[in-house]
Amino acid sequence: MSTIKIRAKNKDGLTTVKALINHPMETGMRKDKKTSKMIPAHFIQEVSCTANGKKVLHANWGTAVSKNPYISFKLTGAGKGDQLVLSWKDNLGNSDSLTSVVK
C-alpha cells in the first residue's frame, strides 16, 4: 500500500498538484511518554516529482516538517493525461513512489 495520495488537475494550461504523504516525521528530540526514552529521528529527506520523465520538483526536507506532510505546487507543461511520478526518501533508507495521471 502506498504512503502517498496525489491529485493533479489541469486548468487553462496550469497543473495543480496536491499530495499527502503518510510518514511519522520524528525529529529525534522527543521522548516517548511511556518509556521516557528518546524517539529516534525518522524524517523525509528528499521529495521529487517528474512530469512525463522530466523533473519538475526537487525538495530537501528536514526535521521541521510536520507528521503526514501535505505538499501542493503548480506547474506548466503538463496536460490532461500526462503522467506524474511523486517520490520520497527518508533518513532510514525508506522510500515510496506513486504515479498519477493529470486530470
Q: What domains does the chain contain, in order, with CATH numbers?
A: 4-101 (2.60.40.10)
Mean of pLDDT values over 10-39: 96
Q: How far apart are CA 32 and CA 78, in angstroms?
A: 44
Residue 9 scores a pLDDT above 80: yes
pLDDT over 90, % of the chain: 95
Buried b (16+ CB within 10 A) or exposed e, 14-26: ebebebebebebb
Residue 1 scores a pLDDT above 90: no
Compute φ and ψ for 45, nearest 5 degrees: -100, -35
Q: Tell me the pTM.
A: 0.90
Buried b (16+ CB within 10 A) or exposed e, 36-49: eeeeebbbbeebbb
